[in-house]
Amino acid sequence: MRDTTNAIHEGYEKDSQGTMAVPIYMSTAYAFRDSEHAANLFALKELGNIYTRLMNPTSAVFEKRFAKLEGGVAAIATASGMSAIFSSIINLAGAGDNIIVASQVYGGTATLTTHTLKRFGIETKNFDVTNPSSLESLIDDDTKVIVFETLANPDLSIADFETITRIADKHNVITLVDNTVATPFLCKPIELGCDVVVHSTSKYISGNGTALGGIIIDSEKSGTKIKGNKRYSHFNEPDMSYHGLTYADLPFPPFILRILLSLLRDIGATPSPFNSFLHIQGLETLALRIEKHSNSALTVAKFLEKHSKVKLVNYPGLDSNKEKIRANKYLKDGKASGLLSFDVEDETLARKIVDNTKLFSVVVNIGDSKSLITHPASTTHQQMNADELKACGITSGLVRLSIGLECPNDLIEDLTAALA
């Protein structure tokens, strides 16, 4: 079936009541038939629900549906996008290891990888996602993962998938790509050679800013890359915290299985079943919404490109944009979502624009049905120093827009007044 159909039907068979909507299973725990059934579940001799920190029937539908859309073999929903990124990285790396992260990433990802993971003894190295010529020289025996975004937030750089995956495969290193901005309806990183995909489902998947969540999607390729690979010895040696289980030897995707049995068990960054239900509703209309977001963003970007006070517009859908060739190569029909940014003379003017819009809400979320505006240098990326901001493509005069589902002409009128 096609993606638009899978987004509505995959992973759910109507229950005995004939319920059309996926039920919300708001239960902490689940009753076992007897003690043998309980023991078998814990020993992985049978599969089934144990505790919502590990699994939940509502979340399971969301996971199956998302895995299908991304072309993966399995998925795990998490409490937030950041918990998806954190869980994926520490599933691979530990004290003494290093990870390689694109300079052009969301501010929260930059803080996590540059500062927080340092306390775990994990070193971070950076590379340019659009020109990864330095990437191979950064890889050593302790490198565990290469992290980047499909469409970087907020400068909209597009990853050079072909070069990054070729180098990663040559050295047998896992690639982890954040596909939040593009969504599976504009880009499928697994088909482009990536190993693991993450999303903040709080953004375009939710679609209206009501539900926090994240998701991790595993590929068949990651299991092949992990098995027997000395970089990932903890997948290939017995895990004494689970009675000597060896993840790579089991007939399940090892990357996702270890997150389920080890990280969700121990850290518990699990989504609410109600949030999973809301994300399921969002998936059903995502194909329509991302088309509208993209078309309206292109209309607004064309307006901004011609405005005398705008120095530069970052939107890959523009013919003049430096990312246009990669947009046509890696994004469906060259569409680039509803996220865009533009540069004006200085911070004073940028903040004036942010403060003077009427339809745009000053919000640091993206992917909402309502249009949003923010000043990244003082909000989402304010923890970065000047060099880090420059590497990330953020100036003091940069304004980020998340174009919603309003009439684009109304948004242009609002921006015209704010730029006056």
pLDDT one-digit tens code per residue, 27-73: 999 999 999 999 999 888 888 999 999 999 999 999 999 999 999 99
Q: Are the C-beta atoms of residues 62 and 280 closer than 8 Å to each other?
A: yes
Instruction: Among 274, 305, 339, identify where a domain stops.
Output: 274
At 385 the pLDDT is 72
pLDDT one-digit tens code per residue, 232-254: 999 999 999 988 999 999 999 99
What is the pLDDT averaged over residues 101-126?
A: 95
CATH number of the domain residue 322 falls in? 3.90.1150.10
Q: What is the DSSP letter of 241?
A: G
Tokens of 128: 């340019």
At 391 the pLDDT is 67
Answer yes or no: do 310 and 237 share one domain: no
At 380 the pLDDT is 72
Domain of residue 333 covers 287-419
In a domain, 282, yes or no: no
Answer yes or no: do 255 and 300 share one domain: no
At 395 the pLDDT is 84
Whether 196 has a pLDDT exceeding 70, the answer reads yes
Alpha helices in 207-253 (DSSP H): 220-226, 233-236
Whether 177 has a pLDDT exceeding 70, the answer reads yes
Whether 297 has a pLDDT exceeding 90, the answer reads yes
In a domain, 23, yes or no: yes
What is the pLDDT averaged over residues 329-333?
A: 96
Answer yes or no: do 208 and 253 share one domain: yes
At 378 the pLDDT is 83
Q: To the nearest whole percent, how much of the chain has pLDDT over 70?
A: 99
In a domain, 281, yes or no: no
Q: Are the C-beta atoms of residues 263 and 90 closer than 8 Å to each other?
A: yes
Tokens of 393: 């493509």
pLDDT one-digit tens code per residue, 361-398: 999 999 999 999 999 888 877 777 777 777 667 788 89
Answer yes or no: do 390 and 344 share one domain: yes
How many domains are there within the chain?
A: 2
Whether 21 has a pLDDT exceeding 80, the answer reads yes
In a domain, 101, yes or no: yes
pLDDT one-digit tens code per residue, 71-87: 999 999 999 999 999 99
At 152 the pLDDT is 93
In a domain, 280, yes or no: no
Instruction: Among 274, 298, 321, identify where a domain stops.
Output: 274
| Burial per residue of 365-401, b for 16 or more beta-carbon CB atoms within 10 angstroms, e otherwise | bbbbbbbbbbbbbeebbeebeeebbebbbbbbbbbbb
Answer yes or no: do 240 and 142 share one domain: yes
At 47 the pLDDT is 85
Partnered with residue 199 across adjacent β-strands are 215
Whether 11 has a pLDDT exceeding 80, the answer reads yes
Whether 321 has a pLDDT exceeding 90, the answer reads yes
Answer yes or no: do 242 and 345 share one domain: no
Answer yes or no: do 141 and 226 share one domain: yes
CATH number of the domain residue 97 falls in? 3.40.640.10
Tell me what the pLDDT averaged over the chain comes to.
94
Write 70-73 long-range contacts (CB < 8 A, 24+): 70/179, 70/184, 70/188, 70/189, 70/190, 70/197, 70/217, 71/188, 71/190, 71/191, 71/219, 72/190, 72/197, 72/217, 72/218, 72/219, 73/218, 73/219, 73/220, 73/223, 73/253, 73/256
At 181 the pLDDT is 97
Q: Give the confidence band of 16 by pLDDT, cuts at 50, 70, 90.
A: confident
Whether 14 has a pLDDT exceeding 90, the answer reads no
